[in-house]
Amino acid sequence: MRLLIRTAMVLSGLMLPGMSLHAAESEPITWGYEGDRGPFQWGKLGPEFSLCDKGMSQSPIDLLHSHKIGLDDIQFSYKDAPFHVINNGHTLEELEPLSETVKSRYPKHGQTVLHFEKDSTIVLDGDLYLLEQFHFHFPSEHTVDQRHYPMELHLVHHNARHEAAVVAVFMEEGKHNPFFETFLAHAPANVGEVVDDHEHFVNPNDLLPKGRSYYRYFGSYTTPPCHEGVIWAVMHEPIQVSAEQIQRFRSLLGHDNVRPTQPLHKRFVLESH
């Protein structure tokens, strides 16, 4: 296995972890998951984060009160791609070559697997979305009847109009997960580090549950600046990872990366049969 580890400085144009550009002064705002930079303060850290406080369609939410209807299945067409993980400070993710537009609003999510080199797509509501990256949260951000799962996977996509669709998959404690093991083996521990492995190919299809029913609602990114207009599809069926894998992910993060659930306001949660 040949790994290429380098710092994010090489990726000129990528912002430092946990920062968003301040529109007026081009000064980054640091945010986090605890204390005076934590989720309850995000909206007060700067005017460009105001949606975090004032938004009416924020994520995550509790998924208890849903309306069952005949939603079309999501058509997943994920392809193999080389492993490319960046640690941007707030979780571990995998990426693709970022267009300037996508990069500028790219949520900082820690260790992120970038998945841009192949045409990995989904069709949701008759619209084609390209997979950009995926990353993990500990514990789950969405809840079902106020209950968290140990972890949650976010597969982040965008369509030709740069609208975002996130497929979320709950992760419960159970069997050892080989895909997640590959991820843990590659995940850079230090913020700013990138791990490239052109000999290991991964297919995010391996992270999807067998059952394809899901909850759907309109929400936001769960990190500042909390942009809205994001279509969320949260799969009903969780996937399994071992207790030991969950612990290793938590140690790698060094902290929880969860935003508390947000008010539903006038929104409806739809649920496929």
What is the set of active-site residues?
90
Say how far apart CA 4 and CA 15 lie, in whole Å. 20
Residue 112 or 120 having the CB closest to Zn ion? 112
Within 10 Å of residue 140's Cβ, how many Cβ atoms? 24
Report in angstroms how near the CB of residue 127 gets to Zn ion at its nearest.
21
Report in angstroms how near the CB of residue 62 gets to Zn ion at its nearest.
17
Report in angstroms how near the CB of residue 198 gets to Zn ion at its nearest.
26
Residue number with the smallest Cβ distance to Zn ion: 154
Within 10 Å of residue 237's Cβ, how many Cβ atoms? 14
Binding mask 138-157 for Zn ion (x = CB under 5 A): ----------------x---
Tokens of 149: 């799962």
Does 90 help bind Zn ion (rule: CB under 5 A)? no
Report in angstroms how near the CB of residue 154 gets to Zn ion at its nearest.
4
Residue 91 or 177 having the CB closest to Zn ion? 91
Nearest Cα neighbor of 120 from 139, 137, 95, 142 is: 95
Binding mask 151-190 for Zn ion (x = CB under 5 A): ---x------------------------------------
* DSSP-based three-state secondary structure for 256: coil
Residue 154 or 157 having the CB closest to Zn ion? 154
Residue 2 or 204 having the CB closest to Zn ion? 204
Say how far apart CA 214 and CA 230 lie, in whole Å. 16
Q: DSSP secondary structure string, 87-124? A: E-SSSEEEE-PPPHHHHHT----SEEEEE-SS--EEEE
Residue 148 or 154 having the CB closest to Zn ion? 154
Contacts 24+ apart (CB under 8 A), 32-37: 32/90, 32/255, 33/90, 33/255, 33/256, 33/257, 33/258, 33/259, 34/255
Report in angstroms how near the CB of residue 58 gets to Zn ion at its nearest.
13
Helices (H), the chain: 51-54, 100-104, 178-186, 243-253
Say how far apart CA 17 and CA 247 lie, in whole Å. 23
Q: How buried is residue 13: exposed, middle or buried, by Cβ count under 10 Å (0-12/13-18/19+)?
A: exposed
Site size for Zn ion (CB under 5 A): 1
Residue 84 or 109 having the CB closest to Zn ion? 109
Report in angstroms how near the CB of residue 70 gets to Zn ion at its nearest.
28
Binding site for Zn ion (CB under 5 A): 154
